[in-house]
A and B are shown apart, each in its own frame.
Chain A
Amino acid sequence: MLQSTAGSAGPLVEMKNAGVRRSGRWLVRGVDLTVRRGEIVTLIGPNGSGKSTTVKTAIGVIAPDEGTVRREPALKVGYVPQKVSVDWTLPLSVERLMRLTGPLTRGKMDEALQAAGIAHLAGAEVQTLSGGEFQRALLARALVREPDLLVLDEPVQGVDFSGEIALYQLIREIRDRTGCGILLISHDLHVVMAETDTVICLNGHVCCRGTPENVLKSPEYVRLFGARAGDTLAIYHHHHDHTHLPDGRVRLTDGTVAEHCEEHHAHDHAGGAKEERDAG
């Protein structure tokens, strides 16, 4: 207990000049990266730019071939990898998936499934889930561990646009509620930007870094993604003042529950977003 309190002042993960080399080629090199408690760090970059390699090095799945990676002692990591495929011969329900790496109380499991919006799928076999539902299940599994550091490798892949906004919203809520650090890989800039403290743009090395607004303006970013990127990719600044509950009611920010969101809504996406998610 004493140790974790003492350690909480420092960074959860600190990479200094880290590089990974495979088959004579540097996958990524010269990465400096720090994640602190309550901070969201997003990695962006083109395919093959070393994003996944960087996060795997940060959490110790890969050992760096140069530079150093320092993690807080007894750091608890929750990890959602880019690709998980479960052989269909393995009978695995969502509930069982939740208990994959550690035992769990009923209450905590229900709470996490509720938070991820898939409480109704607790008993379903994971092979029957849609892409978006499976991502939510993996996210629920990672966050139920109450990790110090939540690591998400392209968590919105295979999720439609409305689901994507909802997932990012959920990730921010997790951060706000638990105060964990979040290391995120994103294939796009525009949605996650608004919630991110630091964006690191990778292309085999750190190409640029800073707050979302700074990165968007930097010449390196423009060079990497083309001159039009800054025009077409708008920062998605938005604020939800309500949450849609599974039964169709609406929870407002002050905690009260209402039947509709009409009088309160900042922007109306209620019908469309929910229906699309249910269909998928």
Chain B
Amino acid sequence: MLDDFFTRAMVAGVGLALTAGPLGCFVVWRRMAYFGDTMAHSALLGVALAFLFQINLMAGVFIVATLASVALLFLQRRGALSTDALLGILSHSTLALGLVMVAFMSWIRIDLMGFLFGDILAVSRFDIAMIYGGGALVLGVLAWLWRPLLAATVNTEIAEAEGLRPERARFVFMLLMAAVIAIAMKIVGILLITSLLIIPAAAGRRFAATPEGMAIAASLAGVLAVVGGLSASLSFDTPSGPSIVVVALVLFLLSLVRLPEGRGTGETGETS
């Protein structure tokens, strides 16, 4: 069954969407979209270093994305610049560093477009094993971490005062982000990874009454986006990553449409 490249891409994409949904909810709740983007952009530097030191690509991306987030935490503690500016600096400089390094490595041919925007042709059986193995690990750790992470998302001080160690939860969460970025790179590409985290979660908000419900809704929306996007990619010969994101966007827009008598969640205001 996995002989067909399209089937492999579909299986891999569904596995990725299932993993990205719950994680993406936290990205939305904690307002970490730009943070996720920065980690994803650093992935290209990871790719370049992986080629240079001849290690596994996913491992290289995971390590560099983790280092980028640790660097950000460190710079935040120094407090010299606002988080916003720091993210801007890290995000684009790691991407530029990666591009420059790749350009220097003339002895290997690198499909840059594939890394930036995803390449369904490149998904191997090994990748599928990594996506499902890694994805199961990520979801398992997230389930274990759920209560402290959610408490810290609502209020760090409550979590700290009541003994849930929010700092540790935050650090492990960043490792999980790095892992998802590493396994998502081939499917949607570096530049679009965060959209696979954020858009399905945003689309699921409307249909969820609990945090857990929203995580499940996000996973389902992600699966729909992957199936629809990859099918469209095959029919119209469009790049796989952008096609998936466009379908996710359509799902999000549909979720905003009000049912005739339904009073949507968009009205519930920002009071707290």
Interface residues of A (CB under 8 A from B): 56, 59-61, 77-79, 81, 84-93, 96-97, 100-102, 125-131, 134, 145, 151
Contacts and interface: CB of A to CB of B under 8 A. Distances in A.
A81 B155 CA distance: 9
Nearest to B153: A90
Contacts of A92: 154, 210-211
Nearest to A89: B28
A53 to B, nearest CB: 12
A134 B160 CA distance: 20
A78 B157 CA distance: 11
B150 interface: yes
At the interface, is chain B mostly helix, strand, loop or mixed?
helix
B199 interface: no
Nearest to A128: B268
Given A90-B211, A101-B147, A127-B268, A56 B157 contact: yes
A89 B161 contact: no
Max chain A Cβ within 10 angstroms of own Cβ: one of B30, B31, B155: B155
Interface in B195-223: 201-202, 205, 208-211, 213-214
Interface of B: 28-31, 147, 150-151, 153-155, 157-164, 201-202, 205, 208-211, 213-214, 265, 268-272
Nearest to B208: A91
Given A79-B161, A89-B201, A97-B154, 9 more contacts: A56-B157, A60-B161, A61-B161, A77-B162, A78-B162, A91-B205, A92-B210, A93-B210, A129-B271
A92 B211 CA distance: 7
Nearest to A79: B161
B149 to A, nearest CB: 11
A87 B202 CA distance: 13
A86 B157 contact: no
B78 to A, nearest CB: 12
Contacts of B160: 60-61
Contacts of B210: 91-93, 96
Nearest to A147: B162
A61 B152 CA distance: 13
Given A89-B202, A128-B269, A79 B154 contact: no
A145 B158 CA distance: 12
8 tightest CB-CB pairs across the interface, nearest first? Answer: A79-B161, A85-B272, A101-B162, A90-B29, A61-B160, A81-B157, A59-B161, A91-B208
Contacts of B269: 88, 127-128
B194 to A, nearest CB: 15
Contacts of B28: 87, 89
B211 A127 contact: no
Nearest to A58: B161
10 contacts: A56-B161, A60-B160, A87-B31, A88-B268, A91-B205, A91-B214, A100-B147, A100-B150, A100-B158, A125-B268
Contacts of A134: 272
A97 B272 CA distance: 13
Max chain B Cβ within 10 angstroms of own Cβ: one of A60, A78, A92, A101: A101
Contact of A126 (B150, B265, B272): B272
Contacts of B162: 77-79, 101-102, 145
